[in-house]
Amino acid sequence: MRAVIQRVTQANCKVNDETTGEIGLGFLVLLGIEDADTDDDLQWLAQKIANLRVFSDENGLMNKALADVDGGVLLISQFTLFAQTKKGNRPSFIRAAKPDKAIPMYEQMIKTMTELTGKKVEAGIFGADMKINLLNDGPVTIIMDTKDKDNH
């Protein structure tokens, strides 16, 4: 799994001009799922995101997590995070999980993040043509890959 986490002051997702998810302060999370991903990967990544300390404290230092700032999460499925661009100019997405694997994992991530944060996780619609609006705060953008979880 790969996640691009952006600290935002606001973000929303629209499909056909209908808002499917919207948050104020918090994280816009773009999530890529690949065939090799397991429930352990999902649990590890969800914990890392929920506990990521990138919100400013009283001294302006990045010491606070989502819970500390009552932040929200907007979770967007994005298979293009597994684009392979080594050959040619047209990306290959062969590593991205097919919908029969990716949809249940995406839905499980929504449930897990909701449990960890104690707040309803807002979301896009899997496979839809989504329009994402965000106001990146900082900007702070963190990239996580579950392949890195075993490397210390």
- Positions annotated as catalytic residues are 80
The whole-angstrom separation of Cα 81 and Cα 106 is 14
Q: For 94, which DSSP code?
A: T
d(CA 79, CA 83): 8
Cβ–Cβ < 8 Å for 22, 122: yes
Count the neighbouring beta carbons within 10 Å of the beta carbon of residue 91.
13
CA-to-CA distance for 32 and 2, rounded, in angstroms? 5
* Alpha carbons 54 and 63: distance in angstroms, whole number: 6
**Residue of 94, 81, 70 lying closest to 141 (CA atoms):** 81
> By the 8 A CB rule, do 144 and 49 touch?
yes
